[in-house]
Structures are given as structure tokens and as C-alpha cells.
Amino acid sequence: MDLLLDFETFSSVPITGQQSVGAYRYTRDPQFKPLCLYYKEFDPATWQVGPTLGWTFLHNEVPDLSGYDYYWAFNVGFDLNVHLATQIFNMPIDINKWKEVQVVLSKFSLPQNLEDAANVLNTPIKKQADGKLIISRCCKPQSKEPTMEDYNKLFLYCEQDVDATLEVLKACPSMKIPEIEWFLWRETFKMNQRGLPIDFPAVEKIKERVDAYKEVICESLPEMTNGIVTKPTQTKRIKDYLVSKGIKISDCTADTLEAEIEKDDKNPGYLPYDCRQLIEARQAGGASSVAKFDKLLKMRVPGEDLNHDFIRYGATNTLRWAGAGFQVHSLPKKSVKDPEELIERFMSLGHIDNPMQSAKALCRSVIKAPPGQKIYQGDFSSIEYVLLIWITDMTDKLALFKEGKSAYIDMAANLFNKKYEEIDKYAIDNLEYFLGKQVILGCGYQMGAPKFQATCAKYGADIPLEQAKFAVNTYRRVYKPIKQLWKKVHDCCVAAIQNYTHAYKAYKCEFQVLPDKRGTRWLTITLPSNTKLFYHSPSIKKGKYGWEVRHLGLVNYKWTRRYLTPGRITENIVQKLARELMAHSIVQVAKDEIFQLLMTVHDELVALGPAGNSERITHERLLDLMVGNLPPWAKTIPLRAGGFYGPRYKKD
């Protein structure tokens, strides 16, 4: 028999929303305490279930919960941390004895919160509607003490959560999760528990300097703009002022303003001095420059130099990892050649021209290896491009990559009718190489000319629409097999939906619509790795350009019907394969005795390893673990990995 359980707890720090400090910090708060625990035993093979039982802080006797095969929770990252922090319940602390409901949901791209999952799966028991009010009264600091009636409502809420969670688990298409996925989930849990080593003295000094800079620059706004802008929150006035100075922007979002800063960095003088200052004041007022440092300090456990709860398993329909908390997956792109020298200037109050921009460049560098260790990073080289040309059998481009030549330079040569050798990657203001790179990075998933033009503008390159059209059309001519791939995979999806249960094969993949145990239909795409993509309730209808494929799925955390375009099908296939290669690497590195996994970020794998005279050899060992022993299905992929090793994390 297995046991399903759920805790409700009190702590003085938040666990939900943007202010969440993560489960580790939350459960280590001095005021943290468990308020109740409800649980139910069940047999996942026969669905024989026992009664829902409970313990509350009003009880003196703690139940004996030992002896079960597995311990399930909707979010083990929270509930196991509660158990680890209290150690009053007779349950195992070994992660190998635990399983998570969210892992099952993620396999099928179902919502990973209990309320939405219960609604989507239409279970007979739902999450209690007024739960947030009950949690607010009992589980967060309040000026008024909760009454016994409040606590009784909390206990009933927790009991219903257990019942609702079991119904969600029972309603899932399947509970069969490959052992490798449980292994990957456990390694993700271990990474979060282990934590990122952080240089907190540097974090504190950087934040202190930037806060002072923010105060000065914001106070100067009225004088700088002749009274037009008085606060950094006045986005309409800021936009109007910038437009009046000839700066063409459509809004004042972080991405738009950052693009203008990048243009000015590449072409000094592009922005008038007052406009540059105004944009930086807006960025400072929005706290975007120091939000990462604020988050690190809020999530810090007193006495530790670690950041926990920074990564999520299975966050997308391809099961790729995503960031949480400190958000390592969305760190600023800015970097600095010598982080030690810049950090020393922050620490010693030395001169820094622009503390805010310098702080952005150091967001990665505050991740610092402990004494006696170094950070070792491996990064798959152009992995999505390689998988695209591999799955379409583009032998000429595969040969080019095997020779060590650049796909960006090759594309630039095609765009500008030049020889490969005539493209200078390092030329100042090199539009040729820039466009070649952006075409390869963006056009593989059916990007059109208007979006390509906007993408270039985002990186500080304003190109005419006609040039964008030419670039896109050139890509589709040079990479004609990829254009054919878009059509073929879309046609296979349409055919599979039209011909229920019949399988269609194309490009090493199989497309089929199958029912689950409740009769819900799923479009499945089986990949060369023998893993699957799942699309809930697929349908087709005639559109302007032919058949349109749609399915139910998440868009901005909302369950809705969404389009499955040829480009998105291709992107999902390629990114799922890239994820499987990263998963294979994680398994290899996790089992190696030299390394300690830190994190995976997009196509990077980062680990701690020994410092000393053999660092180059140690790094080569990491790269070999990533690409030296590929799974059988991937043996013909010309995979390469590069990277760095050193005392601090950086953008390679």
C-alpha cells in the first residue's frame, strides 16, 4: 500500500505568489510549525483505499506512518520539507521513498495545481472554493488570532485536499511513469535541497550600491525632463517624452527599454544623455535591476550561503526544466569579462560608472563555488539547429557542422551572396553575421518576416520589412527540407485526427490519436527517443490556409483551446528531443562520483567539481559524460558540447 498525504502549516514568510521564499526557507523559519496532517492509504494497482485520517497540532499523540511502499504528495518539494524540518512523524526522509502527483500531471501537460487539475479532469471532488481565505486566517501572520472555528475549517480543507488529490491521481490517463523520469525528478529535488552556493557579501554590497544609485537618479527626473516626468512609474509620460526626442518606442515594457539600452551600448550616442538617464530611471524604479538580488536575500536561510528552490522539473509540455525563485533561466544577458575585479569595486566602494548596468552583468557571477571546488559547465552547441538538420537528413549541413564550421556564417554567406571565408564574425557592427545568426535561431520554427523584423529590433538592429522578407525566404530556400518538414508533420496530425487510432509516420516520428481509460482522446507524437508528446482533445477545422489543428492546453496558466501550428509542432518535437539528451546527460553526471549537480539551464548542465591541477581534465570529463556515450537512438547525431570552468558562474 502507498500513502497520500498533505500538510497545512504556519510560517511568518510567504510560500505562494511572487513573494514566495520557497519551501526550504519557509520551513526553516523560526515561527514555522505544522498545523495539521491528513493522509489516506491506497493501492495504485487496485485503487483500494482507506479512510482519510488526520493529525492536528491539538493532538498529543503523533501517528505512526511507517511501513508504506511509497509516500505521495501533490507537491513533495513542500511536504517533504515540512517533514524534514519537523522530524516528528515516523516517515522516511529518503526521497527514493516519495512520489509526486505533479510528475504524473506533467507527463500529459495537465495543470500542475490541484484546483485546475481537478476542474480539467472533472473529478467528483474539487478543491475547496474558499480555501485561500481559510489559509490566510490560519497560516499567515494576522493581527487577530485564529479561532477554533477557523482551525476546524482548516482541518476540513486539508482533509478535502487529500480526497481531491487522490481523485486527480485516479483520473490521470495513466500513473505509469518511466523510472528514468522518477530519477530525474529526484535529482531535481536534490539540486533544490543542495542549493546554489551564493556570494552573499557581494549580493549585499551590490544591492546597497544600486539602491543608492536608484535614489539619486529618480530624484533627478523632474529637472532632467523639465518637470514632464516626476516619477519612474509614469510610463505614459516617459514614452511621450522619449518619442518627442525621436526615440521610436511602442511601450515602456522592460524588453522594449532594454532594447534601446542595447542599441546605445552598441552605438554610443544613439540615445541622448537625458533619454538614457530617463530609461535607466524607469528601469531602476521598476526594480528590475536588483530584483534578482532582492530575491536571493529574501530566500536566504540565516547562517547559510545557499539559494534553494530555484528549479522546476517538467515545467513545459516537453518536460524541460524551468526556473523558480531566483529564476536562473531568465538571468540578464549582460556579462563582464572580469567579474572579480568588478565585484571588488562594489565591495570597496570603488568607482563604477553605472551601478545598475554593472549589477545586471553580475547576476550570474554571484553564484560562486565553495572553497576547494570549481564550477564546471557544459553547453550543447547549437543543439536545436543540429536536431533540425538531423531529423530532416540534411547531409550537407550535417557535414558542415561536423567540420566545425558555423551555421551562422554559412547563412550570412547565403544572405549576402558571399563566400563563407568572406564573412567576418568579429567585424564591428557586423550586420552580416548578426542576421545570419538570427535567421538560424529564429526561422526554424516557421517565423515570418514581421516577427523576424521585430526580433532584430529587440537586439538593436532596425531592418526594413523587405530585408526581413528576403532573409526569411532565403532560409526557406536554403533549408527547403525543414520547410517540407513543417507541412508533413502538420499533415500527419490532421490525418491522425481524421482517422482515429491509425498511426502515421514521418521524420522518425509516429502520429496517432488514442483514447485514455476515461475515453478522452489524445494526439500523441512518439519520437525517435521513444518518448511521447501529448495533446488533449485534438480537433481540426477549415481555416484560411487549410486545416487548422487545435487542442486543449495551458496558455499563461489558463486551460484553453489553442492552435497547434506546423512551426509549433516542429518546435515541440525538437525541444523534446533536446530535453531527452539533457536528461541523459543529467543521469550520466549524477552517477559520476566526481561531480555534484548544481542545475540545468536551457541547454547547459552545471556541476561542482574539485579544484586543483586537474581542472582542465575534469572539465573534459564532464563534456564527455554529456556527449561521449549517447543513447542508441541518438548515435548518429553530431552532438558537441563546450563550456567553461572557474570559481564563478558566467555566460559562456
pLDDT in tens, 279-322: 888 877 665 557 899 999 999 999 999 999 999 999 889 999 99
Q: 131 and 215 share a domain? A: no
Contact 548, 542 (CB under 8 A): yes
- Helices 566-590/615-627 angle, 10° precision: 130
Q: Specify whether 127 is located in the same domain as 18.
A: yes
> Mean pLDDT of all residues in the chain?
93
CB 77 within 8 A of CB 103: no
Give the per-residue pLDDT at 216: 85
Here the cell at position 109 is 501537460
Q: Give the contacts of 16 (CB within 8 A, at least 6 positions apart).
A: none
**What per-residue string of b and e applies to 36-72 under the rule 16 or more CB within 10 Å gives b?**
bbbbbbbebeeeeeeebebbbeeeeeeeebeebeebb
pLDDT band at residue 261 under the 50/70/90 scheme: confident
Cα–Cα dist 2/169, whole Å: 13
Same domain, 510 and 648: yes
Which CATH number goes with the domain that contains 552?
3.30.70
Residues 208 and 342 grouped into a single domain: yes
- Asked if residue 579 and residue 646 are part of one domain, the reply reads yes
The CA-based angle 434-435-437, given to 5 degrees, is 65
Query: In angstroms, what CA-CA distances link 478 with 204, 258, 411?
Result: 51, 33, 8
The band of 233, judged by pLDDT with boundaries at 50, 70 and 90, is confident
Phi and psi torsions of 600, nearest 5°: -125, 135
Beta-strand (E) ranges in 209-305?
none
Residues 563 and 613 in one domain: yes
For the chain, the maximum distance between any two Cα atoms, rounded to a whole number of angstroms, is 81
Q: Which pLDDT score is estimated for 10?
A: 97
> Cα separation of 585 and 576, whole Å?
14
Q: Are residues 537 and 438 in the same domain?
A: no
For residue 147, give the DSSP letter: P
- The phi, psi pair for 508, rounded to 5°, reads 65, 10
Q: At what angle do helices 407-415 and 431-442 cross, to 10 degrees?
A: 110
**Backbone phi and psi for residue 507, each to the nearest 5 degrees, phi listed first:** 50, 50
In the numeric block, the cell 498529543 is attached to 60
Task: Supply the pLDDT for residue 123.
Answer: 96
User: Does residue 280 fall inside a structural domain?
Assistant: yes
CATH of the domain at 88: 3.30.420.10
Q: For residues 461 and 454, what is the distance between their CA atoms, to the nearest angstrom?
A: 9
- Does 195 reside within a domain? no
Task: Identify the pLDDT of residue 282.
Answer: 84
Same domain, 517 and 450: no
Q: Which three cell numbers stand for residue 360?
A: 545586471
CA–CA distance, 31 with 311 (Å, rounded to integer): 26
327 lies in some domain: yes
Reported as half-sphere exposure (CB side, CA atoms, 13 A), residue 189 has a value of 23
Query: At 55, which amino acid appears?
Result: W
Q: What amino acid occupies position 219?
A: E
Q: Is 291 helix (H, G, I), strand (E, B) or coil?
A: helix
The pLDDT of residue 59: 84
Q: Which domain holds residue 162?
A: 2-177
- pLDDT tens per residue across span 503-557: 999 999 999 999 999 999 999 999 999 999 999 999 999 988 899 999 999 998 8
How high is the pLDDT of residue 428? Answer: 59
Window from 92-101, 352-361, 584-593 with minimum mean pLDDT: 352-361
CA distance 140 to 14: 8
69 and 165 both lie in a single domain: yes
C-alpha cell at 625: 559524460
Residues in the chain: 652
Asked whether the CA dihedral 90, 117, 193, 290 is positive or negative, the reply is: negative
> Same domain for 445 and 339?
no
- Asked, for residue 59, whether it belongs to a domain, the answer is yes
Query: Is 268 part of a structural domain of the chain?
Result: yes
Helix H or strand E encompassing 137? helix 131-139
State the pLDDT at residue 286.
Answer: 61
C-alpha to C-alpha distances, 467 to 56, 450, 478, 651, nearest whole angstrom: 68, 10, 16, 31
Q: Are 452 and 438 in contact, with CB atoms under 8 Å apart? A: yes
Answer left, alpha or beta for residue 51, where phi above 0 means left and psi between -120 and 50 means alpha. beta
Q: What is the number of H-type helices and E-type strands within the chain?
A: 24, 19
> Do 421 and 377 share a domain, yes or no?
no
| pLDDT tens sequence across 40-82 | 999 999 999 999 999 999 987 899 999 999 999 999 999 999 9
Q: Report the C-alpha gap between 411 and 479 in whole angstroms.
A: 10
Same domain, 158 and 205: no
**CA angle, 603 as apex, 601 and 606 as ends, to 5°?**
50
Phi first, then psi: give them for residue 190, nearest 5 degrees.
-65, -40
Tell whether 496 is covered by a domain.
no
d(CA 272, CA 274): 6
Residue 22 belongs to a domain: yes
Domain count, the chain: 4
Give per-residue pLDDT as tens, 395-436: 999 999 999 999 999 999 999 999 999 898 877 568 899 999
- The pLDDT, as a whole number, for residue 490 is 97
191 in a structural domain:
no
Nearest residue to 343 (alpha-carbon basis) of 46, 650, 35, 119: 650
**Angle of helix 254-266 relative to helix 449-458, nearest 10 degrees?**
70
SS3 351: coil
* Residue 557 neighbours by CB distance under 10 Å: 9
Q: Are 305 and 371 spatial neighbours (Cβ–Cβ below 8 Å)? A: no
Distance CA 239, CA 219 (A): 19
Helical segments of 392-547, H only: 395-402, 407-415, 431-442, 449-458, 465-478, 480-498
Three-class secondary structure of residue 386 per DSSP: helix
Predicted confidence (pLDDT) at residue 269 exceeds the cutoff of 90: no
User: DSSP code of 62?
Assistant: P
